[in-house]
Chain A
């Protein structure tokens, strides 16, 4: 958007996320953005949000704050939710056209919650459409290394980064470190709008572990010929678990909110792909020789 309209653009990104989503950083820089790796705190999305706030309050006269997810102080959650609602509107039109009726269930992954809010808004008023948000189970809920705010009991109400929601925090209110193989889901808070929908029973929350995600990714690539992002694959995991309980005349929507190309290093590493590793070594040797 900044490239299209000729705006100067600074992007704050956790240093850990810069490292694990390096292809995204490459494209952002090619588009003309300055990417600032944030090395404070957990070096992920939470800390990038804090740094972006600090920049914004320092440069408010010349700068707009553009939030990537449906979190933060009012009116950002509602603004971002509205921008994302195009996903739900189009998905609704498309399934009615191609299938002739509404889906039984809609699955979406939830980090901050932008893609989920986007697609859910196409179906919020349809009582018969079940909405399922899938959080990052990381290494498993019992290990504490996850980002599950609503699907388990680990989070509690809190107020941080300008909004109130369920946060993963200790009894003093200090935010905890989170973990997920997917950078976009690796976040302590969750959209206050989604928390509200969860409290009212409109959206059901589940969690998928890193391990389940890699298995579902492998299956999706082989059977469907598509490469979902690691974030989106969380939605696929839950859909695969539950699809068997549907009748043949029912449909589901899985929101593939991003492509897995950006995750090639993480995915290849997780699959311990020998030919990819050989290629990286070869490429590394080639650059080292310059």
Chain B
């Protein structure tokens, strides 16, 4: 089943889905393995695996540090692919790669997409690749049935949203506010207006991320979004309380 259908089928069973995120190799693949196990056990619906990149411009301090420390400890793209293959083979939920375009570009865009398909990855989030620059990427994702997730931001016009949605599959990642990952988002009137604009621009499921970290945040998205994205919060939790804290945290979000 392709990602869009998987998400719609899951959404029919729950009022909001959870997508979680982690940085591969940070603090180690062993900890990643344990955290993913807990994510799956606690009902997470989709997991994005971030392949570390030295210049993660869309990420705030926490994820930036995770990227840089993973690289400093010697994490290689090939190891990330092997680990992702292992996870996709043993867990029955969709896994996505999140990374920056240079990782694909250096690997070879075609080879990267083909390899991702082979190991059971279902889509990509590449925040620094606008569709105008990603013709080959979009075409090859289409050919292999992988979802090139597109990103809406509060600064996107309705026309831009429709253009982006036309290139997207799986779901649309709606960045909750101006800025980078990890700081607080206010779920106020302008935010609701923004989500309403997102909803009008596409029929694809909507995921909302950036600054989602509590049960209240997830509750605020019910009925407005299809997926809540938890990124920095779990990385911080692992850092402060260890991987065993992830399960109870996730179980308490819905």
- Chain A interface residues (CB < 8 Å from chain B): 40-41, 46, 50, 53-54, 57-61, 156-162, 167, 169, 171-175
Question: Are B106 and A158 in contact, CB atoms less than 8 angstroms apart?
Answer: yes
Question: Are B55 and A161 in contact, CB atoms less than 8 angstroms apart?
Answer: yes
Question: Are A50 and B55 in contact, CB atoms less than 8 angstroms apart?
Answer: yes
**Residue from A50, A169, A172 within 8 A of B57 (CB atoms):** A50
**Residue from B71, B76, B100, B155 within 8 A of A160 (CB atoms):** B100
Shortest beta-carbon distance from B134 to chain A in Å: 10
Q: Closest 3 interchain pairs by CB? A: A173-B106, A58-B179, A173-B102
Cα distance A59–B64 when bound, in Å?
A: 19
- Chain B interface residues (CB < 8 Å from chain A): 52-58, 60, 64-65, 68, 71, 76-77, 100-103, 105-107, 128, 155, 178-180, 183
Cα distance A175–B53 when bound, in Å?
A: 8
Question: Are A173 and B178 in contact, CB atoms less than 8 angstroms apart?
Answer: no
Contact A41:B77 (CB < 8 A) given known A50-B55, A175-B55: no
Shortest beta-carbon distance from A100 to chain B in Å: 47
Cα distance A175–B57 when bound, in Å?
A: 13
Question: Are B102 and A169 in contact, CB atoms less than 8 angstroms apart?
Answer: yes
A53 CB contacts on chain B under 8 angstroms: 57
**Residue from A60, A159, A175 within 8 A of B54 (CB atoms):** A175
Question: Are A173 and B71 in contact, CB atoms less than 8 angstroms apart?
Answer: no
Question: Are B179 and A57 in contact, CB atoms less than 8 angstroms apart?
Answer: yes
**Residue from A46, A60, A172 within 8 A of B178 (CB atoms):** A60
Cα distance A102–B188 when bound, in Å?
A: 63
Shortest beta-carbon distance from B66 to chain A in Å: 12
Contacts A57-B179, A174-B54, A175-B54 aside, 20 further interface pairs with beta carbons under 8 A come to A40-B68, A46-B55, A53-B57, A54-B57, A54-B179, A54-B180, A57-B178, A58-B178, A58-B179, A60-B178, A61-B178, A158-B102, A158-B106, A160-B100, A167-B102, A172-B76, A172-B107, A173-B53, A173-B77, A174-B52
Residue of A nearest to B61 (CB): A40
B56 CB contacts on chain A under 8 angstroms: 50
Shortest beta-carbon distance from B99 to chain A in Å: 9
Contact A172:B179 (CB < 8 A) given known A54-B60, A158-B106, A159-B102: no
Question: Are A41 and B54 in contact, CB atoms less than 8 angstroms apart?
Answer: yes
A157 CB contacts on chain B under 8 angstroms: 105
Cα distance A59–B155 when bound, in Å?
A: 11
B77 CB contacts on chain A under 8 angstroms: 172-173
Shortest beta-carbon distance from A147 to chain B in Å: 16
Shortest beta-carbon distance from A57 to chain B in Å: 6
Question: Are B105 and A174 in contact, CB atoms less than 8 angstroms apart?
Answer: no
Question: Are A173 and B103 in contact, CB atoms less than 8 angstroms apart?
Answer: yes
Shortest beta-carbon distance from A51 to chain B in Å: 9
Shortest beta-carbon distance from A240 to chain B in Å: 36
Cα distance A156–B68 when bound, in Å?
A: 21
Cα distance A58–B65 when bound, in Å?
A: 19
B106 CB contacts on chain A under 8 angstroms: 156, 158, 169, 171-173
A40 CB contacts on chain B under 8 angstroms: 64-65, 68
Cα distance A279–B105 when bound, in Å?
A: 52
Residue of B nearest to A46 (CB): B55
Cα distance A53–B58 when bound, in Å?
A: 8
Cα distance A156–B105 when bound, in Å?
A: 11
